[in-house]
Structure 1
Amino acid sequence: MLDNPVKRWLRALSGREGRSTVLVKELGERDRRRILKHFLALDNHDRLLRFGSMIPDEQIIAYVNKLDFKRDIVFGVVSRVFQLVGVGHLAFAPADKGKPTSKARVAEFGVSVSKSARGQGIGSRLFERAAIHCRNADVDTLYMQCLTSNQTMMHIAKKAGMQIKREYGEADAYLQLPPPSPASVMAEALEEQFAVIDYTMKANARAAAKWLMPKK
């Protein structure tokens, strides 16, 4: 997956991988409300797969309120009508306390996709973006924890070549990442640039549609 990130990203962008283009953008503070709306729309089964338990709305609200966009990384995919249909969250392990200058070397990834947008490769694209970001940030290992019944996450893990350890209905998956390269840095920069343009156009179209909507 990570051998030639520029070529792979260009194939995805051109639609030559058999799916329409899925652009992944890094989200920020202004997206917090949309992130909350995305998670609250998940039913109990989807909440179980994403969080490991069928957590109530109150816990989801607390989780979203605690997101620190300066510390962790949150990626998103928006639909043509500017709805957030996919969210990937990268949480970085703290640096070794015994080494004041050390960097975080492990990152954990969690992903959710709205039912209306499944089957489009959104989960895989979010994972690919998370992996290349970790690689460029000098993170050695990308980690995922999920239920073994979460077929989508298990498929993503196997497709990425992750090492998977199963125990008591849960799975821990690890992907060892190579060091960054000029190609990997360029691939991430290109995708973010195109994703920002796409995001802005959809946001403007949504705003124009609301403005033109007849007032009751």
Structure 2
Amino acid sequence: MNNIFSGDDQIGVVSSFSELVETSFQGTINAICWKRNLAGDFKEIVSELQLKENIKEVSVEDLLALTLSENGHNARKIILNDIQLLTDFGASPSLNLLKKYERDEEFSFISTDVYSYHVDRSPIGTDTFLCTYHGAASDILPNEQATKKILIPEIREKLKEIHDGPEEEFEDFLKEYFFDLHYEPQPNAQPINLGAGHLWKLAVDHPEQKVLPCVHRAPTENDGEYRLLLIC
């Protein structure tokens, strides 16, 4: 496993799916990338799919029903192969065509939607896999460049104001509403864009995890452009 992301010791790079799933996170590495240069017209697939809501889960049957050019066929073959690889591994991949995610506007002082830097949590040992085939790609952030929002004094005070319960239950309240999973980038933060076509494995917060969970966020979508994203 080597590192080709300039100067970053958070990311490991592998050259196959088997390496991706077999390589463990270690030390400061909490994101592993199967770096690929995909040949295919993924934009054609996006243009052929129908999106009536903000998000649509695209099934294998939806993909197979498309009439595509040779380049579009090549792109579909890659997506189907990725879905099969992840399914055979035991994951449950979801292919999403999306215009935008729902925004969290309940509280003006803290956001807990996917556009906010956050980590994933699971009660069991698991990893997050994702690949952006078309459109804007997600960002990750080095852990040392991120501050938990619940530790920022003014945010913490406002959360205490809306907490309806005894002080000893405050930490449980933060977890129940996922406030503790969200982070604020520090002023000097340098996000790393995950790019298109690469299949990533990100560390999740779970009881057996030996590294820090990977801080990441969904990107702001490009105007007039849908995203095609595989995630599980």
TM-score normalised by the chain length of structure 1: 0.27
Higher helix share: 1
Computing the radius of gyration from Cα coordinates, the structure with the larger value is 2
Higher relative contact order (CA 8 A, sep 6+): 2
